[in-house]
Structure 1
Amino acid sequence: MNRIALVLGSGLGPLADAVAVEEAVGFADVELPGSSVPGHAGRFLIGTLGSAPVIVMQGRVHLYEGHDAAAVTAGVRWMAAQGADRLILTNAAGTLNPAFEPGSWMVLSDHLNLTGTSPLHGPEFIDMSTAYDPEWRAVFRAAASETGTVLHEGVYAGLRGPQYETPAEIRMLRTIGADAVGMSTVLETIQGRALGMKVAAFSCLTNWAAGITPAALDHQEVLATGKSAADTMVRLLRRVISL
């Protein structure tokens, strides 16, 4: 059976605690760049989650750390080379949708690539009309319903960062259809689809986006909310990927 690749975003490292680890591989061990961001351990865990064989990428690197799109997506290529044919991405995101409260999860139905770049070069014309596999999303939605888990569905806007968005930028993103905003995921999705992987992605909605409330944005809040929400995603992943 091919392994499922799972990428863990900011504050979601505790998801790795649910994996029965057979081998740990540091990013540096396979000549991948390391992350400088708190909450990103920088290693691969090879093992099982429930009954499913997985490769977990515990942490990721970002454009805002000075890496290019090829470096940002190198982990996806490495996991595909180890035999992974399905890719589950997680991220921490700000919520723009008044109905999607912080602390809940959103499965991505689509994305807006506002990073200004792509991991692809040349005449590599990849169909992105169903970037996030509709049938797989339906399975996750059904599992969430059966377990009483709140799982929203919406559009993720991926920006470069590292600065958080201004209130005016958030109003613009809401106008063009975004439900959540973050600084990762879209390039990994493009790379995964180019490799023929089936992709699903989830945003842990850690905070209201700028201007929705008077509160200032804080990365420590992102980490704390991600940690508290991790158990919810572990239960959902166990149920779905062990089918």
Structure 2
Amino acid sequence: MNQTAIQEASSYIKKHLSGEPAIGLILGSGLGVLAEEIQHAVHLPYKDIPHFPESTVSGHKGQLVAGQLEGKQVIAMQGRFHYYEGYNMQQVTFPVRVMKELGIDSLIVTNAAGGINQDFEPGDLMLITDHINNMGDNPLIGKNDDALGVRFPDMSLAYNRELNQYAESAAEELGLKIQKGVYVGNSGPVYETPAEVRMLRTIGGDAVGMSTVPEVITAAHAGIRVLGISCISNMAAGILDQPLTHSEVIETTGKVREDFLRFVKKILSQLP
């Protein structure tokens, strides 16, 4: 997407906002409930925003929600876009570009993921410390726009250590057990085979999903600090010898809803 499209989308959104958002939120499958906690909320359906794609996946409401949460000005994606929906990488990550244009400097990105690490359990929350791009594509392929970011962005600290420290402190204060690990991004839409899960474990993956990685790459390119949180919604194929379904994902995220809400709100309250 070019700068004109980014500016047209952000101009439309700005007309409806009462303040400038400082923190962006991307809420994954079953986790959009956090947006319902936003006060003085403005709701903007994706279909009304210039150049925005539309969410087609169950569990993704398909709107931006802006307002105040724990005293911070935030803008949340209640549902995201996925590569497997047929959108290209630039469309998938377009909202991150728009959020940057709106003024955010920090992004909390969440997802539902399959557990690869056998020490994990469904319902665990995992802080993402790093990722592996296994999607076979990258949102930065093509001519680079120097106004948006450098040609070769550094990914060594894509998940901000300071934000992770705030998250660990928040979990400790809440008495909440959290995991930490590496998220593997696959293209989807199929769940992995048991052989693929064994491969991903061998190369260092702790959880696997079909999102997040393109958005984080784009955020790094744009100079946005990122905090990543996965809800381990099920154990990946071959670990528990049972079939995987999207309804199970939604069911599990529903069960950890209160912990997820408390956790993210506590993190927001601690951010300077």
TM-score by length of 1: 0.97
Task: Please tell me whether the aligned partners of residues 65 and 76 of structure 2 are also in contact (alpha carbons under 8 angstroms).
Answer: yes
Do the aligned residues in 2 keep the contact of 1:13 with 1:227 (CA within 8 Å)? no
Select the residue among 22, 27, 34 that pairs with 1:3: 22
**Native 8 Å contact 2:130 2:181 kept in 1:** yes
User: Does 2:79 correspond to 1:59?
Assistant: yes
Distance 2:75 2:257 in 1: 17
Amino acid at match of 1:236: F
Per-residue deviation, 1:197: 0.4
Counterpart contact for 2:21–2:75, Cα < 8 Å: no
2:25–2:77 CA contact under 8 A, matched in 1: yes
Instruction: Give the total of aligned pairs.
Output: 243
Q: Aligned partners of 2:40 and 2:25: how far apart in 1?
A: 14
Kindly state the Cα deviation for residue 241 of structure 1 after the two structures are TM-superposed.
1.3
Task: State the secondary structure of the residue aligned to 1:242.
Answer: helix
Match of 2:245 in 1: 218
Q: Which residue type is aligned with residue 167 of structure 1?
A: P
Whole-Å Cα distance in 2 between the matches of residues 4 and 82 of structure 1?
10
Q: In structure 2, what is the Cα distance between the partners aligned to 1:196 and 1:178? A: 25
State the one-letter code of the partner of 1:29: D
What pairs up with 1:1-243 in 2 under 5 angstroms?
A: 2-30=21-49, 31-120=51-140, 121-122=142-143, 124-243=151-270
Deviations 1:63-91 (CA, angstroms, capped at 9, x unpaired)? 11111100100111111111111100000
Contact 1:131 1:193 in 2 (8 A): yes
Q: Distance in 2 between matches of 1:206 and 1:66?
A: 24
Alignment check: 8 A CA contact 1:106 1:153 kept: yes
**Contact (CA 8 Å) 1:14, 1:227: kept in 2 or not?**
no
Cα 1:163/1:21, change in 2 over 3 Å: farther
Shift of 1:2: 4.7
**Counterparts in 2 of 1:219 and 1:127: CA distance versus 1, 3 Å:** same
Specify the code of the residue in structure 2 equivalent to 1:203. S
Deviation of residue 229 (structure 1)? 1.4
- Rounded Cα–Cα distance in structure 2 between residues aligned with 1:4 and 1:39: 22
Kept in 1: contact 2:117–2:207 (CA 8 A): yes
- The more displaced of 223-232 and 207-216 is 223-232
Moved over 6 A (4+): none
CA contact 1:47–1:55 (8 Å) conserved in 2: yes
1:31-65 deviations in whole A, cap 9, x for unaligned?
Answer: 31101100011110000111111001000111111
**SS of the residue aligned with 1:138?**
helix
Shift of 1:235: 1.0
Taking only aligned residues, the RMSD between alpha carbons, in angstroms, comes to 1.2
| 1: CA distance, partners of 2:143 / 2:173 | 44
**Structure 2: stretches of 5+ with no match in the other structure:** 1-19, 145-150
Alpha-carbon separation, structure 2, partners of 1:21 and 1:157: 36
Give the superposition deviation at 1:122: 3.5
Aligned AA (2:107): L
TM-score of the superposition, structure 2-length normalised? Answer: 0.87
Residues in 1 aligned to 2:206 and 2:267: alpha-carbon distance in whole angstroms:
24
Where structure 1 has 5 or more consecutive residues not aligned to the other structure, the ranges are none
